[in-house]
Amino acid sequence: MGMGSDAAALFPFSTSTTATSPRLCGATAVSHRRIFSDVAEDVTVSVDGQSFLLHKFPLVSRCGRIRKMLADSSSSNSKDADGHQKLELANVPGGAYAFELAAKFCYGTNFEITAANVAQLRCVAEYLEMTEDQHADNLVARAEAYLAEVALRSLDGALEVLRRCDDGGPVAEQVGLVARCVDAVAASAGKEQLVSGLAAHLETCDCAAAARCREDWWVEDLSLLRIDHYRRVIAAMRRSGVRPETIGASVAHYAQTWLKGVDVEQRRRQRACWDGSGPFVGDGQRMVVETLVDVLATENVAAVTLSFLFGKARRRQKASFAYD
């Protein structure tokens, strides 16, 4: 959806300055509210087929990439049918959704940073060059503050950010976000293990049961990760001292989650619906089996036998032959 004459509705300017909490995001809004209330938009930015009709000044003041692109487009006289300077952004991390949040930040609109959107914000801020070199307290710094002070301090937060790194594309790797999430998950899992061990040592039934529940939930949540991220988490968990039997239980749960029900009909459905993306469709299951077997061998996890995974591999092979 474009941002044209109804920009005030899309960007409800606050009359207060930005909150200092890392959970809230927005540049100082007072001056923008006065400056742009009666000023026509003068630039059209296209992202993933969506057009955003915006003002140059708030974008240029915080986005190094847009500043450079506007300078280049001025010399080439690139304009749309209405005479607005026209920019097209390709391969934006997080797509139009992430760009709209970044634009709101430039305009001074407060919004909440969460574990579900911080990966996209961090990556789109990198893409747009929203660094301290462009403007103090810019979006890169805001996203980093939330990661350090909130998201990566808890296991569920780190897992959520890691899952959302897919939305950030290769930029998530380039800025080290995936690696930091992996380390945070492993460190938090080690802490959960210590709590579980302490509860068992105290022989308090309620505490021990609660500790088991805590351990169970993160074993299940690990199964939501894509296979390459999962493998890195398991390696980091081993380095941090997580018990082999816990790692083994996680591997078994991951296998059960992604490999159960591998049959001919499932392969037909996957082949028909596959859109060319995603690691867990069709032949991606073979990659899961091979990776998990390699994880067991590499991590020397004795608590889980290979028979389960080999059985899944045989079933998948039979299904493949039957289908082909």
What integer is the mean pLDDT of 238-249? 84
Residues 267 and 233 in one domain: yes
Parallel/antiparallel/unpaired status of strands 111-112 and 24-25? antiparallel
Residues 13 and 129 in one domain: yes
Least reliable range by pLDDT among 50-54, 75-79, 100-104: 75-79
- 3-state SS assignment for residue 262: coil
Task: Evaluate if residue 164 carries a pLDDT over 80.
Answer: yes
Task: Classify each residue of 272-305 as buried b or exposed e, where b means 16 or more C-beta atoms within 10 Å of its C-beta.
Answer: eeeeeeeeebbeebeebbebbbebbeebebeebe
From the CB of residue 89, how many other CB atoms can be counted at a distance below 10 Å? 19
Predicted pLDDT of residue 130: 98
Residues 91 and 208 in one domain: no
Q: Which of the listed residues 103, 122, 153 is the one where a domain comes to its end?
A: 153
Domain of residue 269, residue span: 176-323
Least reliable range by pLDDT among 26-40, 70-84, 293-307: 26-40
Residues 293 and 218 in one domain: yes
Q: What is the pLDDT of residues 268-300, one digit of tens each?
A: 555 555 555 444 445 567 788 888 878 777 666
Residues 131 and 185 in one domain: no
Residue 91 belongs to some domain of the structure: yes
Task: Evaluate if residue 1 carries a pLDDT over 50.
Answer: no
Predicted pLDDT of residue 299: 61
The answer to whether 257 touches 207, Cβ cutoff 8 Å, is no
CA distance 258 to 132: 43
Residue 252 belongs to some domain of the structure: yes
What integer is the mean pLDDT of 302-309? 50
- 3-state SS assignment for residue 178: helix
The answer to whether 101 touches 120, Cβ cutoff 8 Å, is yes
Residue 196 belongs to some domain of the structure: yes
Residues 134 and 183 in one domain: no
What integer is the mean pLDDT of 30-45? 62
Residues 210 and 298 in one domain: yes
Residues 129 and 205 in one domain: no
Q: Which of the listed residues 112, 138, 153 is the one where a domain comes to its end?
A: 153
Residues 316 and 187 in one domain: yes
Q: What is the pLDDT of residues 119-136, one digit of tens each?
A: 999 999 999 999 999 999
pLDDT band at 37 (very low <50, low <70, confident <90, very high): low
Predicted pLDDT of residue 220: 85
Q: How many domains does the chain have?
A: 2
- Residue 204 CB partners (closer than 8 Å, separation 6+): none
- Please state, in angstroms and as integers, the Cα–Cα distance from residue 148 to each residue in 88, 141, 145, 160, 227, following that order: 32, 10, 5, 14, 25
Residue 246 belongs to some domain of the structure: yes
